[in-house]
Amino acid sequence: MALLPFTRPTLDEATIDAVTAVLRSGWLTSGPNVQAFERELSSMLDHRPVRSLNSGTAALEIALDLIGIQPGDEVITTPLSWVATANVIVLAGAKPVFVDVDPVTRNIDLTQIAHAITPRTRAIIAVDLAGLPVDRDALYAVANQYRLRVIEDAAQSFGANWRGRAIGSFGDLVAFSFHANKNITTGEGGCLVLPDATLVPLCEKLRLQGVVRSPDGGMEVDVAGGKFNLTDIAAAIGLGQLPHLAEFTARRRHLAQQYFAQLDASLGFELPIADFTHSNWHMFQLVLPLSRMKISRGEFIARLREREIALGVHYPAIHLFQLYRAMGYHEGQFPHAERIGAGTITLPLFPAMHDEDVTRVCRALHDTLQDALKGIA
């Protein structure tokens, strides 16, 4: 039986042909496909300014620069995310200030943010974990109350919505990722959605070495930018993906519903919140009952692998990494994030999956957990 991966991109022949056309054109880096991709993204997001980038991480880095984050500033965020969310704050010279997650949504607990605010707090980076949007009403209420900027780390939530409005079509700065494991991919890539057009010139300078070119062939540099531009090869993939967004999202929601229907929660799995309105179901994550199991999470994952099923781990609690322990963070500070991070497994979920694949995963999960609870080798 072939290995069932936890994710796999769906690329049609038209997209493959489009990439071939780019390769044959000789224009491989940023060019007409990038411009077309940005126009399509803007059209989907209520015509807000959008600039493509080579990763979602780059989008977060530039967003922090655009709002003027400086050494000594503090940025509030969640400890339960891909480590890039906090790393970009450190790279900006600022301090990441973690707030524990809500145990039900697994997103940052917005009711605890006020307790973390100090005179040095400048912004909040809120993460839509697994594609489930943070409550945007509550997020912007607290941000507005304390006059903080918001960077929405929507790396996982392209195609999700909040109360019927597409994530990215409103709000402050919104960072998306189009990595190969995301719902829509460019292979590697991302974009930053800007709150207004006044930030476009600086954003464009920051993504490509600060360069501004003049009509006479000259150039000027007045800020130190990076090398964050998207290639036309990647943009061609993105242009082929965007028309399938609704289809992909619907399929993911259907598969998630099948998981809920077939998983036996009485065994002790901690299920995600069953949101079929807002979430794009980027990932379907369970939390294992580690305290009752006779084997480790690693052994559990290995046993599923023996049955040709690949599981992911998304994510360990950031503050427990060595880099962040050196900053003074330690175990016990954010108990919900620590428990969820230690026990989470990510199940296979991608549009090309069959319903029968879900049944296969659920059977394997049930058998393996029953053995793990009994201590069967």
Q: What is the pLDDT of residue 377?
A: 66
pLDDT-based confidence at residue 230 (cuts at 50, 70, 90): very high
Tens of pLDDT, residues 306-341: 999 999 999 999 999 999 999 999 999 999 999 999
Q: What is the pLDDT of residue 319?
A: 98
Rounded to 5 degrees, φ, ψ at 146 are: -105, 10
Question: In the numeric block, which tokens belong to residue 368?
Answer: 């393996």
C-alpha span between 226 and 99 (Å, rounded)? 30
CA 118, 122, 128 angle in degrees (round to 5)?
105
Strand partners, 66: none
Walk me through the domains of the chain, giving residue ranges and CATH numbers.
Answer: 13-243 (3.40.640.10), 245-374 (3.90.1150.10)
Q: Cβ neighbours of residue 342 under 8 Å, at least 6 residues apart?
A: 290, 297, 316, 317
182 in catalytic set: yes
Q: What is the mean pLDDT of residues 358-362?
A: 98
CB burial string 61-86: b at 16+ within 10 A, e below: bbbbbbbebeeebbbbbbbbbbbbbb
E strands in the chain: 50-53, 74-77, 95-98, 121-127, 149-153, 161-162, 165-166, 173-177, 190-193, 211-213, 219-221, 284-287, 344-347
Cβ atoms of residues 310 and 3 within 8 Å: yes
Q: What is the mean pLDDT of residues 258-269?
A: 94
